[in-house]
Amino acid sequence: MFYKVILSILVMILFANQALANDTKKVLIVLTSHDQLGSTGKKTGFWLPELTHPYYRLTQANIDVDIASIKGGLAPIDAKAFTEADDNHQRFLNDTDLLTKVLNTIPIDKVVANEYDAVIYSGGSGPMWDFPNNPDIERISTTIYQNNGIVAAVCHGVAALTSITLPNGDLLIKGKRVTGFSNIEEQELGTENIVPFLLQSKLIDQGATFIEGKPWQSNVIIDGQLITGQNPASATPLADALINQLRKN
């Protein structure tokens, strides 16, 4: 009798662990591969806190995270990020696992979209050049969205949403409440005449309802399966909103 009880407990633990494994969520973070700031001769890339803040929030919530970029391999970091104080900078530099993921990002054309419950398009100025009109961004986003997953983007990463078309022919953002790097913030950054387009204006032109927060202050907008953050300050709360949504699914 004793052995039967022990065996029953072991079986229950096995099935419980299997259920937890099957319930593990998986998120893809996509980075830019573009490192030139227009024709200025200056370098750009992805904005480090818009990777590290969501990444650490997600992994602390026991969510698996993969990192891809448009071309794969080393994703360019905008060095200006290191001029701003951030506790996660040193954490990143000491984190062999995350450093390896950034050095060896998955090429976006190799991403199997069905493996993920959500995607986050990370910011920095680089995405303004290589996120729009990318067929793999459209493929990944529409697949996740149709699977009842979540499509999220922060800051200039919202540029990825400007060309995602659903199977019915409508733009993903049409009629949706969204935010992203605002025209005022672009002007204050001094890049309004350098980037290919003003993100806020583009989103409005394409039928989205743009919700503008105060410059450089956190602003996250949730519209169903779509989550957007305005600027770097929005990266952590965007991750928190994503985690909450995943727990509901």
Q: Annotated active-site positions, please?
A: 155-156, 186
- Report the distance separating Cα 237 and Cα 64, nearest Å: 18
Q: How far is CA 215 from CA 73, 121, 198, 234, in A?
A: 33, 20, 15, 11
Rounded to an integer, what distance in angstroms lies between the CA atom of residue 231 and that of residue 249? 26
CA distance 111 to 33: 15
Dihedral sign, Cα of residue 74, residue 197, residue 150, residue 47: positive
Give CA–CA dist 209/122, Å, rounded.
Answer: 21
Question: Quick check: 67 and 60 in contact, CB under 8 A?
Answer: no
Count of residues in the chain: 249
Q: Which residues pair with 29 in a beta bridge?
A: 67, 120
Burial of 216 (0-12, 13-18, 19+ CB in 10 A): middle
DSSP summary character for residue 76: P
